[in-house]
Structure 1
Amino acid sequence: MTSSIRWISIDCADPYPLSRFYGTVTGWSTDDEDQPGHDECAVLPPAPGHPGLLFTRVPEMKAGKNRLHLDLQPLDCTRDEEVERVVALGATLIADRRGRGQGWIVLADPEGNEFCMNTSPAERDTSG
Structure 2
Amino acid sequence: MVSRINQVTFDCRDGYAQSLFWAEVTGYIEHPDEPNAPEHEENYISADGRRPGLLFINVPEGKEVKNRLHLDLSPEDRTRDEEVERLIALGATLVDDHRKPDGTGWATMADPEGNEFCVERSDKERETTP
The structural deviation recorded for 1:14 is 0.5
- Structure 1 partner of 2:89: 88
- The match for 1:119 among 107, 116, 121 is 121
More displaced 10-residue stretch of structure 1: 84-93 or 28-37: 28-37
Residue 6 of structure 1 is matched in structure 2 by 6
Q: Is the 8 A contact 2:30 2:49 kept in 1?
A: no
Distance 1:113 1:47 in 2: 23
CA RMSD across the alignment: 1.5
Unaligned runs of 5+ in 2: none
Q: Are 1:64 and 2:90 matched, yes or no?
A: no
TM-score (norm 1): 0.93
User: For residue 54 of structure 2, what is the aligned residue in structure 1?
Assistant: 53
Q: Which residue in 2 is equivalent to 1:104? A: 106
The structure with the greater share of residues assigned to strand is 1
1:37 aligns with 2:39: yes
Letter in 2 for 1:62: K
Structure 1 residue 46 displacement after superposition: 4.2
SS in structure 2 opposite 1:55?
strand
Q: 5+ residue gaps in structure 1?
A: none
Distance 1:47 1:40, change over 3 A: closer
Over 3 Å off, 4+ runs: 45-48
Give the share of equivalent positions with the same residue, in percent.
52
Residue 27 of structure 2: aligned partner = 27
Pair 1:79-2:80 in alignment: yes
- How many residues get paired? 127
